[in-house]
Amino acid sequence: MLDINTLKFDEKGLIPAIVQDYRTKEVLTLAYMNRESLEITLKEKRTCFFSRSRQELWRKGETSGNYQNVVAITADCDLDALVVEVDKVGPACHTGNESCFFNEVYQNDAYKPFSYERLYELIKGRKTDKKEGSYTTYLFEKGLDKILKKVGEESTEVIISAKTAANVRPSTRSPISPITSWY
């Protein structure tokens, strides 16, 4: 374990602390700690920061109930920044968002993560703005019977795949293994 006396606090006695959800690895916030708030964090195993605007200690969740239970703290190679992994209770941001980082400045569409919301919007777009060569557009043009047939085909493939996976790994308790008890 690293001795906190080796950490490099800035001229104001602060060190940046990047708070990260330990499960998802999502960056939740960037806050600052002074030596006292870091010691409190280590002792109480809940995040405590130093508020630069109020010039006082700030225990995350003290008023909101949205605590951050500390899982791990690591320092960077220069010992002048921290990553605090937490198991959070409630949203991290005072706005009610899960993370303080929600104001998109730029996103390369080629690397945009999958979401059901984006898929739904894409499918809606294929219905209203028909794209030449799109299979989804084709399904909309053929009508409900064709769409339902395709949904049935895909559902059957998922069921067979789940059954096959359950039979291949019968001792594994995966989310799909209860299917083996249906027959």
Residues 46 and 83 in one domain: yes
Residue-wise pLDDT tens for the chain (183 aa)?
899 999 999 999 999 999 999 999 999 999 999 999 999 999 999 999 999 999 999 999 999 999 999 999 999 999 999 999 999 999 999 999 999 999 999 989 888 888 888 889 889 998 999 888 999 999 999 999 999 999 999 999 999 988 887 776 544 444 444 444 443
Residues 118 and 160 in one domain: yes
* Cα–Cα distance measured from residue 32 to residue 17, given in angstroms and rounded to the nearest whole number: 5
* Cα–Cα distance measured from residue 117 to residue 31, given in angstroms and rounded to the nearest whole number: 30
Is-contact 108 83, C-beta < 8 A?
Answer: no
The domain of 80 spans 4-88
The domain that holds 12 is classified in CATH as 3.10.20.810
- For residue 39, being part of any structural domain is answered with yes
Residues 72 and 147 in one domain: no
Residues 123 and 177 in one domain: yes
Q: How many CB atoms lie within 10 A of CB 168?
A: 8
Number of domains, the chain: 2
Largest CA distance in the chain: 70
- For residue 99, being part of any structural domain is answered with no
